[in-house]
Structure 1
């Protein structure tokens, strides 16, 4: 584990391998551990980094006023601490929204974007009624006696969560900080990045689970139409957390894309 301090916050991250940097950004209610299959599989060719965003895992907590720009600036501290130049930035779900915000504010640190099962913010990708439903569902979840997160929430996986990762999912769910989850979900509900998508000028890979109902393929097509020359890969049989449900296919796509980008 490495740790960098940004604006008074300690930001932790895992780093393995040698080569061009690939930085993975986890979804809401997860932490760096969700990227374990990627760290294991890609370290032979890349410097693979998975952060615990502020408010998650081993990183410092966040103040109540923390926004997307603050997350992006903390991520810049991580990428700069690697000393390897611009990185391939890969984000899943909420992590993809953050990856886009990072590009908006720190494009000089982005070699490529890998956006997996994500959104241009809920406001930017989903119907208003669906956003209201999710906000209400989040309110009920956070008001529950345990105030926690269910890693088997319907829609996260196409079927049952992969048995091999059940202990990992349980451990991450137990570590969720309600105040962080509340911030993440509120930001998702308020964010609309549709203006940003046509301005993306780095190679972009869209990775989508075929059976993702949280961010359905219609959202992927919106991204593909809006981002110039974006490449879309649909992963058969995968739901929203495609990197855990179909890690081999996910890793193969990331590897091929990043290696191809090196030759551009």
Structure 2
């Protein structure tokens, strides 16, 4: 019986963010992906975008698909529901992989999020434009893919219910994800693009919070490193997953 991998996309994205990885890994694994609440086909619909409901969504996805245990690979904000779930259901998570993962530590990112939370009453399209400019700062735009990512984030952010991105900021300001990370016992692969300066700014104490973390950077990549350099990410993740197959063969 194949092991399962569940891929969780980031804000403004869809489950198609991991299409290349799903196509590649499906020969050896049962691969799954789903759209976060308020995304995909539900984009624009009013939704209670809370961490409780996001974790509940993942719980229901396990049940609906008959999954008892899985590797979870999440992009950016997807690290929040996946970490909380892994902390709550240790026996259901074989491993965790974070791409562009982050948490609420004093950092450049935290300052950006706090500023845009404080001005959240601004007209939405104007607020989103300023927010998008700040999470894709000029230094990240040396990579052509980052320019495209910035345009996509704004375009699809406009199509989301207005509370989603603002609620996500609130979660990252006030929910202590570090507490849950400290309680996670599953192996963790943490992947960042070397150009992802803004999100890397939160990770100064990562090795203290998660002593068993395996941290890797992909060169010439930005925030969504699996999209910037899919083959490099594939090699990293495949090597990480191989240890579980070896353990199974030995046992």
Q: Fold conserved (TM > 0.5)? A: yes
Tell me if 1:160 matches 2:141.
no
1:142 is aligned to 124
Q: Secondary structure at the match of 2:178?
A: coil
1:211 is aligned to 195
1:133 is aligned to 115
| Cα deviation digits, residues 108-145 of structure 1 (max 9, x gap) | 2211111121112xx34636534423435766573529
* Change in CA separation of 1:77 and 1:67 when aligned onto 2, cut-off 3 Å: same
| Cα deviation digits, residues 144-171 of structure 1 (max 9, x gap) | 2988986996247661127999998787
1:199 is aligned to 183
Aligned mate of 2:173, from 183, 189, 199: 189
| Alignment map for 1:46-195 (pairs within 5 Å) | 46-59=29-42, 61=45, 63-64=47-48, 66-120=49-103, 123-124=104-105, 126=107, 129-136=111-118, 140=122, 142-144=124-126, 154-155=136-137, 159-161=143-145, 172=156, 175-195=159-179
CA contact (8 A) 2:146 2:222 kept: no
Give the Cα separation in 2 of the matches to 1:213 and 1:134. 19
Q: What is the CA distance between 1:198 and its match in structure 2?
A: 2.2
Structure with more of its chain in helix, by fraction = 2
Scaled by the length of structure 2, the TM-score of the pair is 0.80
Give the Cα separation in 1 of the matches to 2:94 and 2:222. 27
Scaled by the length of structure 1, the TM-score of the pair is 0.77
Unaligned runs of 5+ in 2: none
Number of aligned residue pairs: give it: 243
Give me the CA root mean square deviation.
Answer: 3.3
Q: What is the CA distance between 1:29 and its match in structure 2?
A: 1.5
